[in-house]
Chain A
Amino acid sequence: MSARICLLLALAGASVLLPAEPAAAAPARSPISHFIYLMQGGHTFDNYFGTYPGVDGLPDDACQAVDLKRPERGCVQPFSLHGGPPPALDAERSLVEAQLGGGAMNAFVAAYQERGRDGAPAMGYYDDRDLPYYWNLADEYVLFDRFFSSAPYGIRLNRSYWVTGRQTPGGGEQLPQRGYGDEPTIFDRLEAAGVSWKFYVEDYKPAETFRTASTSDAAASQSARVPLLNYARFLDDPKLRGHIVDLSEYHRDIVAGTLPAVAYVASSGASERSARSIEAGQRLVRDLVTQLQLSPYWRDSAFLWSYDGSGGWYDHVAPPRIGERQLGLRVPALLVSPYVARGRPDHTTLDPTAALRFVTDNWGLKPLDVGAGSSLAAAFDFTAPPRKATVVGTARTHAAAPGVDVRPIYGFYGGAALLVVLALVFAVVPKAKKVKVTEVVKEAKVVQEAEVVEEAEEADVVEEAEIVEEAEIVEEAEIVEEAEIVEEAEAVEAVAADRGADA
């Protein structure tokens, strides 16, 4: 094999090993170049953040009648679900319509009772003991307290609004035999504009599409969670279908530098639809958000997640109408980005179509027919420099141990230092005073001088002079100093005795 061929093979190998080039993206009109939107399922705002401080949470007088026709049966107040058994609720159309009571918002419990079921669990709520990660994120980023589901009920219906801004063909949960037809989605617009995009699916099963699902397929099936799988073109066009990938690619894209400009995420086991999956949902969100924060993408990214319906839970705010569209109950929604204010609840009335408006505006796409409504853009603050990422954990910050008051430390240790200094000064610098020198002192002086002279005689002449001089200075100073205190009389006796013993 020639050297040239070897070189070519080496270059080819290297090109395979090198990370792929970042996906080309049309320039964004705001500093947000990467937008990620995760849709979870089945909770109201009051159910997750009803007791969160500073938001429009559970009213003090909230109490839902058990039976609307028999008020004497009493009412159910909101209660904490922490540590209790996982409640089983429904969010089917008739039930949710009954709960809303035509806007009266008074049958969240009674609607279940009318169906022979216990409706009290609908008044349960979670708090920071159950949702520490979400609450921590709310402290650090933006929590929306007027973010409504796009429709009062229906996963398919709400998720259709999520990607198209419009209801499903037929306006219900039924899946047409030929799919959703030609309804344009945000991804059609992105594709047309050359803006990179992907739809990440947790535990993605490519074979599960509208073609394999029955028309009455379970609402939580993959085709319900991933609306693109209901469009023939997204299944039949390999280029479009290639954008629908397993969630594991999200991490690979972050590491490889190929995160698309717009990414939607549909969860599966971690969807939070059941009480048991709430913890898994938090882990999922934590993983997605944290990896984004650790990556270079953080500085120009925004991560939004919300919920596709009420899940049958209570919420005290009557859903408004926007134009001709009746919104559903409020759902939790949080926005994590370097361009949002820290811990500021946002009270703007929004729904998932607000993200479509933002994406359309941000990348200059041909608008979708999403009707009236606000854009998510108002939640950002592009006048301030981007914030550094703050990774939050599951320990609630307010539960941190109170700080130590350092003033007593300085006080006590400073006092101790003063005591030590005083003791040393008192020892080194005794007060000058007249003292009595006893005969013993004089005798000791004579003995010590004699010792010094004797020692000096042992040395040579020069050293002798030094010793004598030192003796005169040091020993005399010692002796005179020793004589300063009256009690030293005894001490000098001991010194004299010591000298005698040593000699």
Chain B
Amino acid sequence: MTVSVIADASMMDGGRRPWRRRPAGLLRAVPVTGVLALATAFRFVALSREGFNSDEAVYAGTAASIAGDTSLSGLFPVFRAHPVLFQLLVSLVYRAGVSDWSARAVAAAIGVLTVAVVYALGVRMYGRRAGLIAALLLAVMPYHVVVSRQVLLDGLMTFFATVLIYCVVRYAETAAGRWLIAAGASLGAAMLAKETALVVLGGLYVFFALTPIVRMRAPHLVGAFAVLGLLVAVPAAAKAYAGAGSSGQSYLLWQLVRPANHELSFYFTTVPSAVGLGTLGTALAGLIWLRREWTWRERLLLCWVIVPVVFFTLWPVKGYQYLLPIAPALAVLAGRTLDRLGLRAGRLALIAATLVVTISLAGASWQSIRPPEGGTFLAGTGGLAGGREAGLWVRDNVPAGAQLLTIGPSMANVLQFYGKRRAYALSVSPNPNQRNPSYVPVPNPDRALRDGRFQYIVWDSYTAGRAAFFTAKARTLIDRFHGVAVYSGTARVGHADQMVIVIYRVRAR
């Protein structure tokens, strides 16, 4: 027997109790609007108080190059290492003028959108209240707040990764091929933001392998991979047609063979506090407490979290923000726990627990928004203290064509972006197997200075704290080539001003 129905909104809303639906819909918009407003506040307040760090300078410089800024296009090649979807978005706003705020605003807006998608995901998986709590947690989560306030690729990648989970959930629920195709498109878009998004495919593979009841039909899979393949081919095609076919290839090779840059335990020491111990604890507690309610939904989220964590723990190259895509999944799991807590223990318990977790996260996020006071600066977590001010001094006082020699490449990137002058780094290895191919080494700095290639040497406290050997080398060169301090920058560290950057003018004779 078959029955014909019209699948439209009026039918979905019901036919039943239409008088209750309309005001309920409006009322429902209030909490989620509040959460989005909170997310906006945490991402936009004092957005450009500090200047760019090294990675931000590189991506913003690339965006400026794409936008046609001639003062930066010679310093930041368009095809440097990663795909350029995010840089392309920033370039659209950079056409109206290059600024710190506008580039970060793009990243922040994507962060707010991610919160909205997490809300939709949570509603889809565990109901409206769970979705609202998940969105609230992500809105104030330090990990997501910190990264989405920066000109980094990971925020956009996480946005598309979250859309990808949503599509997979819909596919698991409906087995409709269009959702798997949309999932393929989302994964492709995530990889156009940053190629490391490919890792989440591993999580999905494990999920589908362990969940036979969610069957994937071959035509759907073919369609999804076809779309994914088309999107993945875009960077190579764009490069080839833009006349930069071979650039960036050696970067991938280097990423595959480069030595480890952090301990194996890096993520276990940095990520828990970044996502919030409250979030992590609540999510884990829920998995244990609600183990009898275990469904494919939890399995999906767990696979989503575990596979990238294992992969990047074993992978020698680690970056603070690499695990950002797991943040939405953890927020949804925590939202599920708190939602069920409300069902079992009452509304008061729900509100109290949610407030505790939210306030702990918000406090940590607020600390991260404020200028660093710890005395140390971790690249990738915020601005490079004093870097923007030094770069602007370089722009205003260093003649065009003059070249600077820094201790490390981080400061070189920042000075290049703000100063619009070429900067090289002492610590870049002449051995191509041991350096980022984007960087140009100075094999014999002594001779380069004798030949007059460099007019300035830059000392900075951030690099000095990490590279004692090259700091000593820089000091030797400064003395040997008659260095005269022409700029010194200080920054507030703790309760005192500390010297963070000194620029020396040097000469060959």
Contacts and interface: CB of A to CB of B under 8 A. Distances in A.
Interface of A: 247-248, 251, 255, 283, 286-287, 290-291, 293-294, 298, 388-394, 400, 402-413, 415-417, 419-420, 423-424, 426-428, 430, 432-439, 442, 459-460, 463, 467, 470, 472-474, 476-478, 480-485, 487-488, 490-491, 494-495, 497-498, 501-502
Nearest to A409: B238
A271 to B, nearest CB: 15
A480 B8 CA distance: 9
B21 interface: yes
B452 A476 contact: no
A423 B228 CA distance: 11
Interface in B63-86: 65-66, 68, 73-74, 77-79, 84-85
B6 A408 contact: no
B242 A413 contact: no
10 contacts: A287-B509, A393-B401, A416-B230, A432-B7, A434-B4, A436-B3, A470-B128, A482-B176, A483-B7, A498-B213
B277 interface: no
A434 B5 CA distance: 6
A413 B175 CA distance: 29
A480 B12 contact: yes
B15 to A, nearest CB: 10
Nearest to B70: A403
Contacts of A394: 451, 453
Contact of A409 (B8, B84, B294): B84
Given A294-B402, A420-B185, A430-B178, A442 B455 contact: no
B188 A420 contact: yes
B149 to A, nearest CB: 23
A495 B173 CA distance: 7
B113 to A, nearest CB: 13
B147 to A, nearest CB: 22
Contact of B237 (A389, A412, A467): A412
Given A416-B188, A416-B234, A436 B4 contact: yes
Interface in B177-195: 177-179, 181-182, 184-186, 188-189, 192
B244 interface: yes
B170 interface: yes
Contacts of A433: 7
Contact of A420 (B16, B231, B401): B231
A265 to B, nearest CB: 12
Given A393-B453, A427-B178, 9 more contacts: A392-B401, A404-B79, A404-B242, A420-B188, A434-B6, A438-B1, A470-B127, A491-B175, A497-B213
Contacts of A437: 2-5
Contacts of A467: 343
Interface residues of B, number: 84
Nearest to B346: A460
Contacts of A291: 507
A365 to B, nearest CB: 31
Contacts of A487: 175-177
B222 to A, nearest CB: 14
Q: Can you list the 5 inter-chain pairs with the closest CB atoms, starting with the nearest?
A: A491-B175, A408-B241, A423-B185, A389-B399, A391-B401
B508 A294 contact: no
Most chain B beta carbons < 10 A, residue from A404, A467, A484: A404
Contacts of B12: 476-477, 480-481
Nearest to B451: A283
Nearest to A470: B127
Given A388-B400, A393-B401, A423-B184, A290 B452 contact: yes
B295 interface: yes
Interface string B1-29: 11111111001111010000100000000
A424 B79 CA distance: 28
Main secondary structure of the interface of A (DSSP, over half): helix
A196 B227 CA distance: 76
Interface string B400-416: 11110000000000000
A403 B242 CA distance: 9
Given A432-B6, A488-B175, A419 B185 contact: yes
Contact of B78 (A290, A409, A497, A502): A409
Contacts, number: 216
B214 interface: yes
Contacts of B507: 251, 287, 290-291
B509 A481 contact: no
B231 A419 contact: yes
A393 B185 contact: no
Nearest to A484: B7
Contact of A427 (B2, B175, B179, B402): B179
Given A420-B188, A424-B163, A436 B2 contact: yes
Interface in B212-265: 213-215, 227, 230-231, 234, 237-238, 241-244
Contacts of B77: 404
B249 to A, nearest CB: 15
Contact of B5 (A413, A435, A463, A477): A435
B452 A412 contact: no
A394 B202 CA distance: 50
B482 interface: yes
Given A413-B192, A420-B189, A488 B174 contact: yes
Contacts of B78: 404, 406, 409
Contacts of A423: 178, 181-182, 184-186, 227
Contacts of A409: 66, 78, 84, 88, 238, 242
Contact of A426 (B8, B73, B181): B181
A408 B213 contact: no
Nearest to B292: A502
A416 B85 contact: yes
B242 A406 contact: yes
A91 B293 CA distance: 100
B295 A498 contact: yes
A483 B6 CA distance: 9
Contacts of A470: 127-128
Contacts of B173: 478, 482, 491, 495
A256 B480 CA distance: 18
B167 interface: yes
A393 B482 CA distance: 20
Given A435-B7, A480-B11, A404 B244 contact: yes
B505 interface: yes
B296 interface: yes
B477 interface: no
Contacts of B343: 459, 463, 467
Given A404-B244, A423-B227, A427-B181, A293 B399 contact: yes
B190 to A, nearest CB: 10
B165 to A, nearest CB: 13
B4 A435 contact: yes
B170 A427 contact: yes
B392 interface: no
A406 B177 contact: no
A419 B175 contact: no
B89 to A, nearest CB: 9
Contacts of A419: 185, 188, 227, 230-231
B484 interface: yes
B71 to A, nearest CB: 13
Nearest to B179: A427
A388 B78 CA distance: 28
A497 B88 CA distance: 46
A290 B398 CA distance: 11
Contacts of B342: 463
